[in-house]
Amino acid sequence: MTSDLWTFALRLYTEPGVERACLRLQEAGADVCLLLTACWLGRRGATFDASRLDALNKVCEPWQEQVVKPLRELRQNWRTQAQDDQALAGLREQIKALEMDAERKLLARLEGATDGWAEGGLEQVQPWLMGICPGLEGADRDALDLLRVAALAL
């Protein structure tokens, strides 16, 4: 298994159905970086508890709100106009690259926040995912299950 969060996240995200499942969960209010971190922690056997989740949220929320979301919104707002404007399409691609770099830096911060958390126990993917996304139903629950199965298959 991959040791660093970024490499794990990239591998997991390319698994069949994972990107779509993550975007569906994002639409339901979940944070994709936290979902990927949950899978990574669970695969490593780090025990889930609410105080650990709170610590991750304290790292994640400000960065998402101040850095990632504004970049994402700008990129998404330019989607239609960029189809007919090559200059704008090029800028949109640059913003997409900045957004990905911001997510990479967030994952590094999340990984750093987990330093010293015990590893090597039984896998804990399900508890971590349920902690991040409590009370999901229907298609959102199916997306969460797909993410769990893909993480365990890595």
- What pLDDT was estimated at residue 67? 97
Per-residue pLDDT tens over the stretch 68-123: 999 999 999 999 999 999 999 999 999 999 999 999 999 999 999 999 887 777 78
- What pLDDT was estimated at residue 122? 75
Give the number of C-alpha atoms closer than 13 A to the C-alpha of residue 42, restricted to the C-beta side.
Answer: 25
Rounded mean pLDDT, 113-139: 85
User: Cβ neighbours of residue 107 under 8 Å, at least 6 residues apart?
Assistant: 5, 6, 9, 33, 36, 37
- What pLDDT was estimated at residue 15? 97
What ranges do the domains of the chain cover? Answer: 5-153
Q: Provide the pLDDT confidence category of residue 31 given band limits of 50, 70 and 90.
A: very high
Q: What is the pTM of this model?
A: 0.91
CB 41 within 8 A of CB 122: no
- What pLDDT was estimated at residue 123? 85
- Is the pLDDT at 139 greater than 90? The verdict is no
Mean of all residue pLDDT scores within the chain: 93
Neighbours of 55 (CB within 10 A): 15
- What pLDDT was estimated at residue 138? 75
Q: Is 153 exposed, middle or buried (0-12, 13-18, 19+ CB in 10 A)?
A: exposed
User: What type of residue is 23?
Assistant: L
- What pLDDT was estimated at residue 1? 47
User: Cβ neighbours of residue 66 under 8 Å, at least 6 residues apart?
Assistant: none
Rounded mean pLDDT, 30-54: 94
CB 113 within 8 A of CB 46: no
Nearest Cα to Cα of residue 25 among 138, 110, 102? 138
Least confident of 92-106, 118-132, 140-154: 118-132
Lookup: tokens for 63: 């960065």
Lookup: tokens for 47: 């025990």
